[in-house]
Chain A
Amino acid sequence: MKTTIFPLTFLAAFLAPQILNGMESDSLTGFSKEDSLSIYHIDEVIIQQPRTSFFQKGKKVTETDSLTLSVFFDGDLGKVLNSITPAYINARGGKGSSAGLVLRGTNSYQTTVKWNGFNLNSLTLGSTDLSTVPVEGMGSVKIIHGSSGTVSGSGSFGGSVELTNKPDWNNRLDVNLTTGYGSFNTKRGSATGRAGNENIQYHFNIFREDALNDFSYIDRMKSGNPEVTIANNALENTGFIQNIFARLPGNNKIEAGFWYQNKVKEIPSVMGLYEQGNALQRDSIMRGYVKWSKTFDHSRLNLSSSLMSEHMRYREESAPEESSGNINNYIAGKKFFNEVDYRLYLNNYITLDAGASYNSLQADVEQYGETAKENRTALFSGVRVNYMGLTTNFTLRKEFHPEVSIPPLFSAGIQYNPPDTDVAFKFSYSDQFRVPTFNDKYWQPGGNPSLLPESGHTIDAGVQGRFSPAPGHSVNAELSVYRSDIENMIQWVPGEGYWSPENKKEVGINGLEASLDYTTRLKDLKLDFEGSYGFSSPRIKQVHEEESSITGNRMEYVPAHTANARIMMVHEKAHAGISVNYTGSRYTTRDNNPVYEMPPFTLFNLYGGYSLQLHDFKCTLQIRAMNILNKQYQVVRGYPMPGRSLHASLKVGFSR
């Protein structure tokens, strides 16, 4: 079936221009109706759209607005995602603690996080620690819900997060200096800037944050439920991100980025322990990329290359020194990624895309015994057709892996916008595939080199509508339902003394996502309500014989219900708001024992800010009160989360 779809996709793409010659285009796709086929104009936004965005029609996409990025500018990516989507963030404690993204009932290693198109997921762990992604260094954050394996490659089961830095090609200079202070001895300072003209742009962000993270919590795992202050939980996080963009003669563009970060985090003992540990984790990351693109009359060629390295050291000492119980793990990983992509705008209706990528991965980890290496190659193609409000895209990907035979992956997306309406009907189908990570295969003890890769598919359907019930009022609502089937899902399970990964024969995930955005104006007051709800039911459909008792059970650490709502008010130079986040109960054991079920929790947060403008200078004071009801809760069993906290920041900006 799949092997016949591959040539058919190409055939359809090449025959379509003749069939559709003379058809009308539509404005929703960015093409102008007036343009003739021979001299048609292609919107620059469309040309510059990376494949990861261009071929996502039919999927639910959530983008952050500038206010959200402004409110959480000093936070990590997890905070932003938590506030705008029904995503579940698997955080193991306060600021700086490792946090994974759970989208649509999958695991954190089944969701990709990309920076300007390059996959950030750790090649050893397979996931991105959201606590290492500073929001301030990103221009925009976009979440593409649902599987996008044919576009994003191995592993994008739950969806992908696109972090982008974009130039605006204005002749300008922006510099912002920020300082912030908050509860639990949290301090942060940063500088961001943009400078350039219509041909060259430079962005930078440099930051430093320290936190003692010495919050108190009720330890219900200790006798008498004492209130204790968490120890060995300090954070030091330093880094910088810079990007340069240049428009060169001959429709050439070049873009480069560099990201360095060093995070040192103490790891506290879990609840119930009387002796505080001394574990320490140091993460150093270095990421660099270069992109070159040339735009021709009807096409564009894009070459991109990135080199990313990650170093992690985990140390834990137990008395006496030199004890065999001491832990000193070192992990070093290196990813070299190269891609060529050619996109042909055949006419106003049809766009073809094809390319290839080459990935070289290497990890030096003591626990592997020897250096792990892997080279992966992929060929991919895509067709996007627009006609009468109907946009369809088909993509195909064939990955070549040294150890695993990966079948061609196919995806299709359809989005229909009925003429003269702001309604969109969406449907998408996508194959998905994920090869085991290095840790899955080689980590000793526990790693299993004979693990099977995960595979499956996702079907997604939705409707989105924008309407204005009255002048000055606008509503944007979207509802999506999805079904995902995953075979041989890999899951690490605890064993006698250590954890090890194993394949679950078949997991099925049903779910829905709903969102509502309502904006109105009352004189000078802009009122914005955003709400979203997610339901997901990942269940074990089929297991190996000896585990038959867990058939039908829910996957661990995935809440059935998540919801968030936020009301923000903006009045000239001031803004204020309140948000509420609800996370439903989660099972923590595979037999779904209610005794170990994590209870649901609801968090309330308050935001406020005021700006003063004086000539080219702007001064903004922001205050954020998180968990104002001082809710005692845990996301991961045994890892307490902070109670009520207050954060204030002062930003001084110069813009010309």
Chain B
Amino acid sequence: MKIKFLIASIFLLTFITISCEKEDTEPADEGYASGLVITNEGAFGNNNGSVSLYCRDSAKVTNNLFEKVNGRNPGDVVQSFGFEQDKGVIVVNNSQKIEIVDLETFESTGTITGLSYPRYFKGLGNGTGYLTNGNEEGEVYLLNLQQAEVTDTVEVGMGPEQMERSGDYVFVANSGGWDFDNTVSVININDHSVEKEIELGDVPYSVVSDANENIWVLCRGKLVYDDSYTEIIEETNSKLVKINGSTLEVEETIVIGEKGDGFQPSFLTVCPSGMELYFDDIDGLYKMDTGANSQPSTPLIERGFSNVWIEPDTGDIFALTIPDYSSAGQLRIYDSEGREVNTHDLGIGPNGLFFQ
């Protein structure tokens, strides 16, 4: 009898304990829209990409958010995330699809499939948004998120990647994808047509806008290997190129890195004030004023990251590291002086931080 009572008590206690545990996918008061979304691409071909959420209020990370809410993995190579009103868009590159989620619940509300090589999403503020697609011939799709469908297509340069909006223009960096390009396509959002194609440095990849509504484009530079991938046979300078957001003219070009170092920077970020740019180089993370005309002589943090984001309130630097593609990556938080203050484990291969 006593044993039965003991077992019953253990069960009851266990039930109560489990019931009282706070579900770690519970959103902040405002839902997931206020959090910092981190995409973890996973290992190519392994279907283990994921989405993490950093809650700024609690300073906690929830990993595998999409899987916890929807009961399935988002797919293979989670490339990026985008916001549009009450919707979020998870771009899953090698699964050739996007997942549209409700930002209150993170439940999937739709899937658009059949995309050949989706890369990045940019919301337009009216329930629609642009999606870059293509590893050679590139296009920008206009998506209706409510209907989960492609409603228009804009032909752009090759291998379009990141986008930035300034007024009625969206600037699309044409990296070349698996080939080569050196242009930015400027799309007029009123008629979804290309207003202008601007030639700048080789392999444009990241685009941000500063406080003065200038557009900054990171051109990674050409890095071409021979057929056996053992020797570099062509390399061009990496550059930061400033475009006037109104005149659409190139105003400044700053060479970063050194030609011959065999390195291509992979990200460009702007701080919330729009006055400082952050980008990576072979020897670490650099911080540069938007008014500067050359790269600083020393890095802020001597370490390589896959991407960074600057916290609007504190100026803390949220940086992603990838030890390998078979174990958890990390979110490393540095203060504005570059001192590491905290670390969180993420999913496999964290590659981007997204905040609205």
Interface residues of A (CB under 8 A from B): 220-223, 225, 270-275, 318-320, 323-325, 366-370, 444-445, 493-498, 546-547, 549-550, 556, 588-591, 593, 595-596, 637-638
Q: How far is the CA of A366 from the CA of B326 in the complex (A)?
A: 27
Chain A residue with the shortest CB-CB distance to B328:
A591
The answer to whether B64 touches A595, judged by C-beta atoms less than 8 angstroms apart, is yes
Give chain A residues whose Cβ lies under 8 Å from the Cβ of B229: 444-445
Of B13-21, B30-38, B71-79, which stretch is located at the interface?
A: B71-79
The answer to whether A366 touches B72, judged by C-beta atoms less than 8 angstroms apart, is no
Chain A residue with the shortest CB-CB distance to B70:
A223
Give chain B residues whose Cβ lies under 8 Å from the Cβ of A368: 228
The answer to whether B326 touches A273, judged by C-beta atoms less than 8 angstroms apart, is no
Least Cβ–Cβ distance between A438 and chain B, in angstroms: 13
Chain A CB within 8 A of B47 CB: yes
Which of B67, B226, B326 makes the CB contact (< 8 A) with A590?
Answer: B326
Residue interface bits B57-91, CB-to-A below 8 A is 1, else 0: 00000011001001011011000000000000000
Instruction: Knowing A272-B75, A274-B113, A595-B67, say if A494 contacts B325 (CB, 8 Å).
Output: yes
Chain A CB within 8 A of B137 CB: yes
Least Cβ–Cβ distance between B265 and chain A, in angstroms: 14
Give chain A residues whose Cβ lies under 8 Å from the Cβ of B43: 494, 589
Least Cβ–Cβ distance between B168 and chain A, in angstroms: 33
For this complex, 23 residue pairs linking A to B, each with C-beta atoms less than 8 Å apart, are: A220-B72, A222-B72, A223-B70, A223-B99, A223-B108, A223-B111, A225-B72, A270-B45, A273-B76, A274-B113, A274-B114, A275-B114, A369-B227, A444-B229, A444-B230, A494-B45, A547-B323, A550-B327, A590-B324, A590-B326, A591-B327, A595-B50, A596-B48
Least Cβ–Cβ distance between A324 and chain B, in angstroms: 5
Give chain A residues whose Cβ lies under 8 Å from the Cβ of B326: 493-494, 556, 589-591
Chain A residue with the shortest CB-CB distance to B95:
A272
Give chain A residues whose Cβ lies under 8 Å from the Cβ of B73: 221, 272
Give chain A residues whose Cβ lies under 8 Å from the Cβ of B325: 493-496
Q: How far is the CA of A625 from the CA of B225 in the complex (A)?
A: 52
Give chain B residues whose Cβ lies under 8 Å from the Cβ of A272: 47, 73, 75-76, 95
The answer to whether A495 touches B114, judged by C-beta atoms less than 8 angstroms apart, is no
Chain A CB within 8 A of B119 CB: no
Least Cβ–Cβ distance between B145 and chain A, in angstroms: 15
Q: Is the contact region of chain A dominated by helix, strand, or loop, or is it mixed?
A: loop
Question: What is the total number of residues of chain B having a CB less than 8 Å from a CB of chain A?
Answer: 45
Chain A CB within 8 A of B290 CB: no
Least Cβ–Cβ distance between B197 and chain A, in angstroms: 21
Give chain B residues whose Cβ lies under 8 Å from the Cβ of A498: 44
Which of B45, B137, B228, B322 makes the CB contact (< 8 A) with A369?
Answer: B228
Q: How far is the CA of A493 from the CA of B113 in the complex (A)?
A: 29
Residue interface bits B157-199, CB-to-A below 8 A is 1, else 0: 0000000000000000000001100000000000000000000
Least Cβ–Cβ distance between B237 and chain A, in angstroms: 22
Give chain A residues whose Cβ lies under 8 Å from the Cβ of B72: 220-223, 225
Q: How far is the CA of A556 from the CA of B116 in the complex (A)?
A: 31
The answer to whether B136 touches A221, judged by C-beta atoms less than 8 angstroms apart, is no
The answer to whether B327 touches A593, judged by C-beta atoms less than 8 angstroms apart, is yes
Q: How far is the CA of A366 from the CA of B228 in the complex (A)?
A: 8
Chain A CB within 8 A of B206 CB: no
The answer to whether B322 touches A274, judged by C-beta atoms less than 8 angstroms apart, is no
Least Cβ–Cβ distance between A325 and chain B, in angstroms: 5
